[in-house]
Structure 1
């Protein structure tokens, strides 16, 4: 990923939180000689420095991922930044965003206990605390059939790149003007970017 120095995100704790929060990723690999991508949730095991997930078995991307490095892209908030918000007309439009790229080697999981545990972890992550749904209450035969319909995997992470493009290349006064404009918006992405920009400014002061 192209990352100018002032946009590089090195805070490991922030990167880990980002992967946890924006865990619906895009997984890229080469399949049949062409780039191929699948959109899927991934759970992050910090202790193992690994990602867990699963393909639908009919999705043939899994067939040739074992011999190559894959890339998981975690997409965060993003929004358009208008030059009309600046104190000068000598400016151009841009886009603010946060993104994390995780590279690693993918290995398929055959152990049923590990597969079931990873499914439990995923369900527990996304179900609300007061949800009536419990994976361990699902009919055992139905569950067995469902696990046969997926291909579980683990990605052993080899490299992480993170980018937070939050107008850091502009003067503080201009960043504050952008934050004001974004905070006046009702768009969720705008508000998230404004919040991240404020946190970044506070750290730099």
Structure 2
């Protein structure tokens, strides 16, 4: 994934986003070429150097056999940005988005004990009081026989947040306000409602990034002295 420097996610923010993993696309390249399946994932941050992601897949889905190099694409908030959302005229439409590519080695597990433990991890990571122990053992055995456990042993993580942080901080505030206004007003069914996650990112990390850049420019100008500009 191509990531311009000003849209790159710092390592600490990558880790924070990964810890909130929910679901994403498993991408593999098997005998029949590229394949992808949208799956829920749980994270074990203590497995290996970078951790591992665990999930399960229907046994009838042949993708689980494509073990080896693989990637999981995790989707963050995204939203359409209209030219009218900016504080200044003359802008063009664009799309803000946050995404992560988690690269690693895919390993399949057919052992019932591993699959049950992984299912428990996935359930425990959700906002629910339900537990695996509530399932009838016979039903659980049938479910486990129909699925295969999968583990992505992480080797690298690349994140991209194109969330208007290349814009002036005041413009980022204007964009966030415009999205908030659209989110709260009645919209035509064919239009998506802006996401709360995108608005929060704009008002938080994106604006902080722009403010830091602006402060750095001001410090450089001050160091140059009056009457001189920084190119």
Same fold, TM exceeding 0.5? yes
Q: Which gives a bigger RCO, structure 1 or 2 (Cα 8 Å, sep 6+)?
A: 1
SS in 1 for 2:80: strand
Runs of 4+ more than 3 Å apart: 187-190, 202-205
Alignment pair present for 1:195 and 2:200: yes
Matched-pair contact (CA < 8 Å) for 1:54–1:151: yes
| Shift in alpha-carbon separation, 1:110–1:16, aligned structure 2, 3 A | same
Which structure has the larger Rg?
2
TM-score, structure 1 length as denominator? Answer: 0.89
Return closer, same or farther for 1:162/1:152 CA change in 2, 3 Å cut-off: same
Distance 1:112 1:31 in 2: 25
2:108 is matched with 108
Shift of 1:110: 3.4
Does the Cα contact within 8 Å between 1:97 and 1:166 map onto a contact in 2? Answer: yes
5+ residue gaps, structure 2, are: 184-191, 213-231
Alpha-carbon distance between aligned partners in 2 of 1:123 and 1:10, rounded to the nearest angstrom:
29
What TM-score do the two structures reach when normalised by structure 2?
0.79
- Determine helix, strand or coil for the equivalent of 1:29: strand
Q: For 1:149, which of 146, 156, 162 is the aligned residue? A: 146
Could you list the runs of 5+ residues in structure 1 that have no partner in the other structure?
A: none
Matched, 1:123 2:123: yes
Aligned pairs (5 A) from 1:7-18: 7-12=7-12, 14-18=13-17
Q: How many residues align?
A: 199
- Corresponding residue of 1:170: 167
